[in-house]
Amino acid sequence: MRTAHHAEIAFQDWPGIRDEGALHRTLFQGQSGRRDNFEFGIVEFEKERNGSPRHRHVFDQFRYALKGEIEYNPGEAIPEGCLAYFPEGTPYGPFRIHKDSTLLSLQLGGPSGQGFIHRQDLGKAQQALAREGAFDKGIYTWVDAEGRRHNEDAHKAVWRRVTGEVDVQMPAPRYDHPVLVYPDNYKWRPLAGGVSEKLLGVFNERRTSAAMLRIEKGASHKRVPGTQAHLHFVLEGAMAIDDEQIFQRHDACHFEPADGAKLTALADTTVLIYGLPDFS
């Protein structure tokens, strides 16, 4: 098990590919090169931003709106307290951010198994590309040896530089549209005394999932080892893990499949849980 206490993690202004005006608090990263690699963190937007153009990824994403709303398609937005699953290969955008909004971002290897590349690696590639061309509003522009001008989606250009691939092997979409979920409209399903869950959705053949767990003050939930790793993020309340470490609002844990743990609520607590893809 790994832990992340948000107050101990500084916000960073990552080198922007599409994220100008965004501050990132990285809670966890997975392992580079693995199919189930991921990046999990809180992103704060200080100013209104017309973000990325319509695009798609070779990896999956989840976005949960902690504050404000996140517009991901014209007229379609993630309201505060809701989440959306952005499947690999499925187009979305243009992305528009409103001032003072905060989202919980999970980017992770999708079912096609192409993994995910960390920001540090992307940043290095972006710096190299910036010496050869220019980034502007999500587009990378450069002039080749014959003097021809090229425009390419910025993320795609950086991805190609990191992987060395001639072209991005974009997976065909499994879903025709991002899946926007309204958690407030689910009923809590009791699991045991004082513990209940909302299963928000299980997606694709790797069973990548999103759920919420509610533990009433004083009650405990036992996590049992399985085949899937999970990320826990405290939305409300506070809890102790194995009667030792205390997790407050916006703290997080990363459980490997073999990890067992006892979660005890110190106040009425709600936890957002992501199930990472199972490639076993």
Partner 1 sequence: MKFADGRKLDWSAYTFQKMRAENSVIQKTLLQLDEGGPGDFDFTIVRIDTEYYSPRHTHPWPQVRFVLEGVQNYAPEKDLPTGSVSYFPEGVYYGPQNVGPMTQVLLQFGGPCGLGYPSHAALLKASTEMSKLGKFIKGGAYEKIGANGQVQREDGYKATWEYLKGEPLAYPQPQYAEPIVTLPEQFSWKQVPGQAGNYVKQLGSFSEGQVELKMLKAEKGSRLVHGGEGRRQLLFTANGVLEAAAASLGPHSAMYTEENERMEFDVKDELYGLVITLPSFPTHQGQAAAHAGGSFKSGMQASSATAVARSIG
Q: Which residues of 157-176 are buried (b: 16+ CB within 10 A; e: fewer)?
A: bbbbbbbeeeebeebeebee
Query: Which residue number, 7 or 201, has a Cβ lying nearer to partner 1?
Result: 201
Helical H runs in 24-165?
Answer: 119-130, 154-163
By CB under 8 A, what part of segment 153-182 binds partner 1? 171-177, 179-182
x/- string (CB under 8 A) for partner 1, residues 8-47?
Answer: ----------------------------------------
Kindly state whether residue 202 participates in binding partner 1, applying the rule CB under 8 A.
yes
Give, as ranges, the residues between 257 and 276 that touch partner 1 (CB under 8 A).
273, 275
Burial readout 109-143 (b: 16 or more C-beta within 10 A, e: otherwise): bbbbebbbbbbeebeebbeebeeebebeebebebe
Tell me: does residue 220 bind partner 1 (CB under 8 A). no
- Pull the structure tokens for residue 101: 């909004």
What the block records as the tokens of 9 is: 């993690």
Q: What is the DSSP letter of 184?
A: G
CA gap 109, 129 in Å, rounded = 24
Rule CB under 8 A: choose which of 95, 203, 233, 247 binds partner 1: 203
Q: Applying CB under 8 A, which part among 10-18, 122-130, 143-151, 184-192 lies near partner 1?
A: 184-192
User: Is residue 228 involved in binding partner 1 (CB under 8 A)?
Assistant: yes
Exposed, middle or buried by CB within 10 Å (0-12, 13-18, 19+), for 226?
middle
Q: How far is CA 217 from the centre of its chain?
A: 28
**Closer CB to partner 1, 100 or 236, in the complex:** 236
Class of residue 69 by CB neighbours under 10 A (exposed 0-12, middle 13-18, buried 19+): middle
235 touches partner 1 (CB under 8 A): no
Taking the complex as a whole, the smallest distance from the CB of residue 237 to partner 1 amounts, in Å, to 16
Min dist CB 87 to partner 1, Å, is: 9
- Residue 119 or 221 having the CB closest to partner 1: 221
Binding region for partner 1 (CB under 8 A): 76, 89, 111, 171-177, 179-182, 184-192, 197-199, 201-205, 207, 209, 211, 213, 223-224, 226, 228-230, 255, 273, 275
